[in-house]
Structure 1
């Protein structure tokens, strides 16, 4: 009752923010025009989108840059929050803070982020999920849109995100921030940086974050779903021994300990279309009213992730000539355990008939009939090394060039500690995956006139992919005491067939740009670029053992200006040809259910992005906005399930789909459909108000309305999310000495459109008329309304 009362009071206060934005017109006319720490779009932001310093107006690329002040102003805790304010960028968090699914400019991403949108720390590749990467101690986040393979290399087919970390200045500086909110939210972060002695500086930071789950777990009394906990520590040492040499080494440590994410099953009984063939659900999915997951039956419930990352770099202005030689090395060590109840409800069902498990035909070696194969826990250990060396000519020369070389090795190995015996016997170990990448790159820019610059960049890269399928002896993993309790115990059983698969992918990736600076505050640009995502291997038991390289060709024009009264106005239009797009499908093999990657065909993407900041009353009342229109259409592709929906068993031979039967291949076409997870319209509108009160204090308030149109769950374009509209509000005060107090609310209208939709096989349900398992849908709910109080002090 007390929390509800507080919630009503804070919601009432926040709802008055919109009135406050326009309730003080006389005061607004006399307000001081000084920039506040929370205002966005007022500072000149220098970005490194091409791995050299340029202003946003100068760089001929679509870049959305967030300074530390604007990150604070957007109430952003992570990159997922920033996506709401970035044209052309969406992220679906269907599985909590694991399995990121970023979608940049319509390039769908179903299972993983590697290969589509790359993330970098100070230009060094960051491997693994990034939704939990905290932004407390960063200086800037650059979201770089369109293919970035020519500059950033592997994993940047449709875009890149560069997180620029804080560096020490000439004076001791620090900041401490604390937040409390509903659902037990508690955050505390602190950072300190400055000189140690002349030529030597330091930076340290720490953050603790904890929040309770928002949804009750009806299957486990007293448990809530979606709780999150993070501890983060950073440290850096910075050396400037001479005026020409600078070097640094950084360490980032992060521990995530999250409970099971909330997800609920829309059962197959809700299906409403193609009922006489292959039933599916058509229309907006229905968010579950309750959530029940058997987390008490998991070996480990939720996410446990521990990561250490190191970045070292050195640069030398060769003898003060302006020619710069630089070298950067990165290393990361990531250990992750994830336990998921893949029934997505409280049924705790078994794949095999429970009454027959362990008897007659259903008796399998080392079979534990009390354990469902849907109660899955997996662990992995990922180690990566990256090295990059480059030489660049002086940045003020009319002809500027840079050349370099990159090398990396990325290895992911399964953790046998989380193997289990279940209803179908011993679990298989995932493949050990190793990717070696070697690349040579270069670029040149030439000032044709004082106002026109042309540029060319080229990268040739070689990816060597190796998947090693492991095996193990059961007695080496499970104790004799435990094996004595299972069906047909056999400690000498060898699980898995060892093998090695190798492939090499080569690509030469260009980008050409033209930039015309028509005035000091107006520029136009055009570019042609290519991006790729190398192919790879599926599990050996999947219907298709490999998937091919993806390729994206981008044509783009744009303008950037601060004319016409705008603080900034950026407009871009692009056309993309997306070949061999990789999505996923589901298969059942040897009583195992899994997903695999598959090339669906060819996609055409067209879009327009607009963003800007417009003063309404000087710097006192400002409008911020962004909008994206995406016309993303599959031009060539096949989906077997579509043939079953339209023609039923006429497209099956026995139990297998056969698209070579009359009319079936044409029926399976998905040409004309939109790729999954892609919204046609996204955008936000915000207002910012500030007014000097007295004695160095300033009152501020803000409002953001964030919109996302409906997206489809899969290429069939049948089940969809529905439109989403969120309202964020804030009100507070700050003084001239760095103290800032903010009362905030996020999603205050309680928008409940799903955060994710997962196409699912409902095994306990009756088979469909085609003899297939019935379709159901796992629905990840949106976060509920959140509110809280943040106090920060900079010094």
Structure 2
């Protein structure tokens, strides 16, 4: 879409937008209704909570037709979410604190964690039933003191619906273009009045896909979810509430809607890592050069444009040789999840004294099957073997595996009465995860190979913590809260690439399963203490002013066999483990109502310093063999600062307007990137430890001042809702719209390639009564086509050999012999955005 059209539409919408952060129900007598949140693990209104939290309520979900975290984020300030890999590898970015490795490189996490009813949830959440949600709280800033593990940027808490007091039945059905269908329903009530309640529901969702794989003629990006849940709530007295929820979910998604922008499009940074210097290799006959080019550029600078007719994935059976016959490109295609999640929460007021015990428990088991042609092109290459021996073998970069994840968590808190001027809470937390991944092959089928065979991995995470807070009302208007958490996390890993390449850290009892006869290196333990201090003051006029100082951390991890190789190359270094990434900073916020509660304003400014930033580091082999080891290291520092504004207005009882704006300046203050050196040197390898380069090397690898990738510096969003009564029987006409605008995102730390900016406009109109509604809707009405996200990759189609390179002896850097980078030319794979879609939806409530 042309920028001028975006600007006009944005300007036209700015005067009637709504941000789903503030109350989204119609204004009642007395102004905008309050929302009760639990962002600080206590019930308080959104206006009174001295914390930056955005809320999407069940009313807003239904009103705007929101379906997943992707939609919720687009109606929240300070968070950017992009479906980079379909409904897997979630990467929420809060306040610009991002990492290109999160969810892509094993063990690297996002820094923003999910919770379901306050219970820690380690996984993807895009398929969660939106009709079962009471509200979603996006809590911004370091939350490690109260929420714990992996919340150094923020926390996202899904609060599900309680059982109703009366018997209620509700349902929703939707049909839209591209074979999109959904039917969801629930029944809720009391088995024993006011003592034992229940809520049960289910959902079936299907999306047929919009784009076509040019190699197979089949749709890509298709999705299907079947889910069901049961909530039981026991309240034997007014002092006890015990709530248990069981959720079952099965996702079945097809191949991803991904295209490859090849190396032929590269337009900057001339050098040896370019198509010009690639050709077929006689030593790798099954990696042919199907393309040739005179392009000497190593990289692409500018906005990556969508290529909907360039989805070319080797998935289905393809003709390889008329004599040899056919074989599948990948042994499994798409994404499949089978998951059971159980959460249980107990709130106990001890003898009605106000002393409260809160106990939370969670158990989750998830089977994930994932398969993709991860060169994302029509390349079909093997790096070893003969044509006959590879008949039943997947080609290079066919990424197919089966993951089994088991989680258990428990949290226990004791808190003092809330009606006292000094309040306190103390708690303990425990989390354990077992993770197994095994290879899916043609021979194994979806069941995958056994644990301990090549391509398998076994890992554990154990987190133990003690935490607490003290809150003091110094006066009726002034309060101070101090929170503190001390946590210790222990990780183990056994990784088998081949029988000759096995890494073991901890879990020595499992090592024999992987054919590992040696002694494990010991588990990786990371511990630390994180405080959070809040000072809040309420003026005589009711304006809340608050200031926060907090620290946070996201987990460290292992580099496995690659780390061992790097330590061997550089004796005395520590590359097997990488440390937790840490944040330290604060925010200043103001919240107030005006115009008889017809206007609500929240403003927040924030600043954070990030240390031990987790970056990819390429470690060259000093022996000159050409081998380069890619690992994760704590090679950078960064800072984020910005401003968030949320406005809610209810100028009339039947009109609600909200607007949100966030500005984030997130940039590196220190860091050295090996790929940056390759680009700036014209295609030379950095023949030094990139953590401590020479002065000349520093100038070429330095990323200081560069923007953190994957986050948008400017996000604007909102919605407007209006209704009009048509008769005295309660029949109403309603209309609403919502929009989101995100500035372009850089894809890598080099700040060269980027997505386009994106303006999305949606609208709904229909009629409703207290018991039913029917609406027609349109999504992405401007047919925005900018890519949501892209990833730096490689282009295999130019062959596995080199040609035209100068003699090695003639190449030098900084007065020393230098190695030429002979790696595969860089390219980019990107996800396609869904286009304009129209549909109809009906709902009933009794």
**Shorter-chain TM-score: which interval?**
0.7 to 0.9
Cα offset for 1:566? 4.5
| Distance across 2 between alignment mates of 1:763 and 1:678 | 29
Stretch moving more, 667-676 or 68-77: 68-77
8 Å contact kept, 2:343–2:362: yes
Residue 791 of structure 1 corresponds to: 842
- Structure 1 320/663 Cα, relative in aligned 2: closer, same or farther at 3 Å? same
Which of 643, 646, 661 lines up with 1:627 in the alignment?
661
Residue 176 of structure 2 corresponds to: 181
Alignment of 1:618-767 (within 5 A): 618-648=652-682, 651-653=685-687, 660=693, 663-694=696-727, 695-735=729-769, 737-765=770-798
What's the CA shift string for 1:762-784, capped at 9, x where partnerless? 23326596423211000111111
Residue 458 of structure 1 corresponds to: 484
- Structure 1 430/579 Cα, relative in aligned 2: closer, same or farther at 3 Å? farther
Cα offset for 1:663? 0.8
- Structure 1 334/594 Cα, relative in aligned 2: closer, same or farther at 3 Å? farther
Residue 587 of structure 2 corresponds to: 556
| Distance across 2 between alignment mates of 1:247 and 1:391 | 16
- Structure 1 456/612 Cα, relative in aligned 2: closer, same or farther at 3 Å? same
Alignment of 1:124-523 (within 5 A): 124-198=119-193, 199-221=195-217, 223-278=218-273, 279-290=298-309, 291-296=311-316, 297-351=329-383, 357-358=385-386, 371-415=394-438, 418=441, 428-470=454-496, 499=520, 501-519=522-540, 521-523=542-544
Work out whether 1:45 is the aligned partner of 2:35: yes
Cα offset for 1:367? 6.0
| Distance across 1 between alignment mates of 2:613 and 2:244 | 38
What's the CA shift string for 1:269-302, capped at 9, x where partnerless? 1100012355110001122241121111221110
Unaligned stretches of 5+ in structure 2?
Answer: 1-8, 17-23, 104-108, 274-297, 317-328, 446-451, 501-512, 567-574, 806-820
- Structure 1 570/494 Cα, relative in aligned 2: closer, same or farther at 3 Å? closer
8 Å contact kept, 1:351–1:591: no
TM-score (norm 1): 0.86
| Distance across 1 between alignment mates of 2:333 and 2:603 | 45
- Structure 1 326/622 Cα, relative in aligned 2: closer, same or farther at 3 Å? closer
| Distance across 2 between alignment mates of 1:588 and 1:292 | 33
Cα offset for 1:741? 1.4
- Structure 1 461/718 Cα, relative in aligned 2: closer, same or farther at 3 Å? same
Stretch moving more, 46-55 or 498-507: 498-507
Cα offset for 1:706? 1.4
Cα offset for 1:376? 1.8
| Distance across 1 between alignment mates of 2:312 and 2:638 | 38
Q: How big is the alpha-carbon RMSD for the aligned residues of Structure 1 and Structure 2?
A: 3.1
| Distance across 2 between alignment mates of 1:517 and 1:181 | 48
- Structure 1 197/285 Cα, relative in aligned 2: closer, same or farther at 3 Å? same
| Distance across 2 between alignment mates of 1:751 and 1:381 | 37
- Structure 1 583/136 Cα, relative in aligned 2: closer, same or farther at 3 Å? farther
Cα offset for 1:472? 8.2
8 Å contact kept, 1:378–1:419: no
3-state secondary structure, aligned to 1:97: coil
RCO comparison, higher one (Cα < 8 Å, 6+): 2
| Distance across 2 between alignment mates of 1:419 and 1:461 | 43
3-state secondary structure, aligned to 2:131: coil
3-state secondary structure, aligned to 2:471: strand
8 Å contact kept, 1:578–1:602: yes
| Distance across 2 between alignment mates of 1:80 and 1:627 | 17
| Distance across 2 between alignment mates of 1:183 and 1:595 | 41
| Distance across 2 between alignment mates of 1:101 and 1:583 | 16
- Structure 1 520/433 Cα, relative in aligned 2: closer, same or farther at 3 Å? farther
- Structure 1 420/577 Cα, relative in aligned 2: closer, same or farther at 3 Å? farther
Residue 282 of structure 2 corresponds to: none
3-state secondary structure, aligned to 2:523: strand
Cα offset for 1:538? 2.2
What's the CA shift string for 1:203-227, capped at 9, x where partnerless? 1110000010110111112x10000
Residue 649 of structure 2 corresponds to: 614
TM-score (norm 2): 0.81
3-state secondary structure, aligned to 1:59: coil
- Structure 1 35/671 Cα, relative in aligned 2: closer, same or farther at 3 Å? closer
Cα offset for 1:640? 1.2
Stretch moving more, 84-93 or 102-111: 102-111
Which of 87, 95, 105 lines up with 2:85 in the alignment?
95
| Distance across 2 between alignment mates of 1:109 and 1:691 | 47
What's the CA shift string for 1:250-284, capped at 9, x where partnerless? 10111000001111110101100012355110001
| Distance across 1 between alignment mates of 2:203 and 2:620 | 43
Residue 568 of structure 1 corresponds to: 600
8 Å contact kept, 1:175–1:793: yes
8 Å contact kept, 1:102–1:117: yes
| Distance across 1 between alignment mates of 2:516 and 2:261 | 34
Cα offset for 1:731? 1.0
3-state secondary structure, aligned to 1:754: coil
Residue 485 of structure 1 corresponds to: none
Cα offset for 1:372? 0.6
What's the CA shift string for 1:455-507, capped at 9, x where partnerless? 01111111111112358889xxxxxxxxxxxxxxxxxx998887555111111
| Residue-pair matches, total | 732
3-state secondary structure, aligned to 1:415: strand
Cα offset for 1:163? 0.7
3-state secondary structure, aligned to 1:94: coil
Residue 632 of structure 2 corresponds to: 597
- Structure 1 418/392 Cα, relative in aligned 2: closer, same or farther at 3 Å? farther
| Distance across 2 between alignment mates of 1:585 and 1:752 | 33
3-state secondary structure, aligned to 2:66: coil
Unaligned stretches of 5+ in structure 1?
Answer: 1-14, 23-33, 475-492
What's the CA shift string for 1:379-432, capped at 9, x where partnerless? 11000111111111111111111111111111111135558799xxx9833431
Stretch moving more, 271-280 or 459-468: 271-280
Cα offset for 1:433? 1.3
| Distance across 2 between alignment mates of 1:319 and 1:658 | 59
Stretch moving more, 589-598 or 138-147: 589-598
Cα offset for 1:600? 3.7
| Distance across 1 between alignment mates of 2:352 and 2:110 | 39
- Structure 1 743/652 Cα, relative in aligned 2: closer, same or farther at 3 Å? same
